[in-house]
Amino acid sequence: MLALLSDEQQMLKEVAAQIAGSAGPSNPSDLNTVDRAAAWRSLAQAGLLALRTRDDDGRPVGSGVEVAVVAEALGAGLVPVPYLGSAVLATELLALAGAHDEAEALSEGDARTTVLLDRHLSALAVLPGEQVYAWDADGAADALALTAGPDGHQVVRVSLDTGFVPATGADLTRTLLRSDGPIDEARLTPVGRPLSAEALLRWEALALTVISADIVGVMRAAVARAVAYTKERVQYGVLIGSFQAVQHLCAEAYVQAEASASATNYAAWAVDELDVAEALMAARTAKTQAALVAREVTETVMQVFGGIGQTYEHIAHVHTRRALTDRQVLGDEGVQLPRIADVRLTGE
């Protein structure tokens, strides 16, 4: 799908890329020194944390396309800030629940909230009970989850100050916390009004789309790094980019990344423009495509870099780690494909 951005969206893309370029690591050791607070302030000052708050007419300030543009840029830069967790997933939940003041507070950048996922990271957590994970939780004081009730699902807030411990995850650019046991009802604070079934599905469509956009950014940047390397690395007296085997590897990785970008572009447009069932179908398709190729593309990049690409000191594995974790969050292709099949075969 050919995506044409408006002049404003093109400017947004350039601003996000500039911030990502200054805040992302060039090697893994930079993750210990990068000024994450400065990057977060830059996003807040540019208004990028407010895209899913609502205007006076109740519409999102930024469309699904605009949020996906920012998510892809930050994914490409491997920027270690909780944009998806706080500025998109949590803010959208608050807005859908009618907690607009709390969503506005997140957009100012002084407070951060993320979401709780189930123990497989494949769904938003439904409490009380079960062990949960707070994903993309850097600097977050609390996290949002759901409870089931007669009027629908209720958004609830859980403090991360107690009962959570750092968890070791593959992604070096995001913070993952694990609850040290089931979450009991006494720790839950209701937020806003209960969500309708349609609102919850709309949230899922947006969430799957922006995670797919992050994967696309990671893959595109990784392939670009690899192609640039083939134009400077010499073996046997010639550039390695002159070898047909290397050309095929890069070409295949490029095609797979661009196929994911195409599906994600359509899903991003669908978030606000199609009815919720079609928007969610587009989002599941985008997540499936991106999840299917995320590992192959980023591992191909590591192969192109040769021996140095297998070392911890090189940036290549940081791409792979972020892509693999994104792949799992809210469900990989093994989760999405059966749900797509259910809708196509049974209409439900």
| Contact of 51 with 35, CB cutoff 8 Å | no
Which tens digits make up the pLDDT trace of 122-167? 999 999 877 899 999 999 999 999 999 888 899 999 999 999 999 9
What does pTM read for this prediction? Answer: 0.96
Residue 329 vs residue 348, higher pLDDT: 329
Asked if residue 111 is part of any domain, the answer here is: no
Round to whole Å and give the CA distance between 115 and 127: 12
Residue 247 confidence (pLDDT): 97
The confidence score (pLDDT) of residue 2 equals 59
Section 66-93 average pLDDT = 98
Mean pLDDT, residues 60-73 taken together? 97
Residue 201 burial class via C-beta count within 10 angstroms: exposed 0-12, middle 13-18, buried 19 and up: middle
| pLDDT band with cut points at 50, 70 and 90 for residue 347 | confident
Residue 61 within any structural domain of the chain: no
Q: What counts of helices (H) and strands (E) characterise the chain?
A: 10, 10
On whether residue 144 sits in a domain, the answer given is: no
Residue 149: per-residue pLDDT: 85
Query: Is the residue at 158 inside a domain?
Result: no
b/e 30-49 (16+ beta carbons within 10 angstroms → b): eeeebebeebbebbbeeebb
Q: At 346, is the pLDDT very low, low, confident or very high (cuts 50, 70, 90)?
A: confident
Q: Is the pLDDT at 1 greater than 70, yes or no?
A: no
* β strands within 137-215, DSSP E: 142-149, 152-159, 164-166, 176-179, 189-195
With respect to residue 302, please indicate whether it lies within any of the assigned structural domains: yes
- Model confidence at 282, in pLDDT bands (50, 70, 90)? very high
Q: Is residue 150 part of a domain?
A: no
> Which range (127-131, 229-233, 320-324) has the least confidence?
127-131
Domain with 334 in it? 199-346
Percent of the chain with pLDDT strictly greater than 70: 99
Give 247: exposed, middle or buried? Use CB within 10 Å, 0-12, 13-18, 19+.
middle
Give tens-digit pLDDT for 206-230: 999 999 999 999 999 999 999 999 9
- pLDDT by residue (tens digit) across 9-20? 999 999 999 999
- Work out how many domains the chain is built from and give that number: 1
Q: Give the CATH number of the domain where residue 246 resides.
A: 1.20.140.10
Tell me the CA end-to-end span of the chain in Å, nearest whole number.
27
pLDDT category of residue 4 using cuts at 50, 70 and 90: confident
Higher-scoring residue by pLDDT: 3, 202? 202
Compute the distance between CA of residue 136 and CA of residue 175 in angstroms, rounded to an integer: 5
For 157-211, what is each residue's pLDDT tens digit? 999 999 999 999 999 999 999 999 889 899 999 999 999 999 999 999 999 999 9
Chain mean pLDDT for the chain: 95
Whether the predicted pLDDT of 29 surpasses 60: yes
In a domain, 304, yes or no: yes
Q: For residue 250, is it within any domain? A: yes
Asked whether the beta carbons of 320 and 241 are under 8 A apart, the reply is no
| Peptide bond before residue 128 is cis, with ω within 30 degrees of 0 | yes
Q: What is the mean pLDDT of residues 232-242?
A: 96
